[in-house]
Amino acid sequence: MSSKDRVLKSVFLVTVLSVIGKITGFFREASIAAYYGAGTASDAYFVAYTLPSILFFIIGASMGVIFVPMYLKQLKRDEKSACNFAS
């Protein structure tokens, strides 16, 4: 399998999983709306769910942007120092 084929396969897989995640998220929110209705109880749930979700996203995104380049730099220098850096 060529490098281009692997990239296309990876892009396709990420796209499919992303769409599945969006669909399940829609059904989760539709189920909550059906159970609790549109009112203060569902609003409280969505606020309580959204705040930790945003923090998780920010931390996860920053790990990819900050940690990975630093780890790869350490890995180029020395594999043991990269392991120490990661742990």
pLDDT in tens, 4-20: 888 889 899 999 999 99
Proportion of the chain above pLDDT 70, given as a percent: 100
CB-based contact 42:36 (threshold 8 Å): yes
For residues 32-57, average pLDDT: 86
| Together in a domain, 43 and 30 | no
Cα–Cα distance, 80 to 58 (Å, whole number): 29
State the total domains in the chain.
Answer: 2
* Residue type, position 56, single letter: F
Proportion of the chain above pLDDT 90, given as a percent: 20
| Together in a domain, 46 and 84 | yes
| Together in a domain, 33 and 22 | yes
Model confidence at 22, in pLDDT bands (50, 70, 90)?
Answer: very high
| Together in a domain, 50 and 8 | no
Per-residue confidence (pLDDT) for residue 21, from 0 to 100 = 94
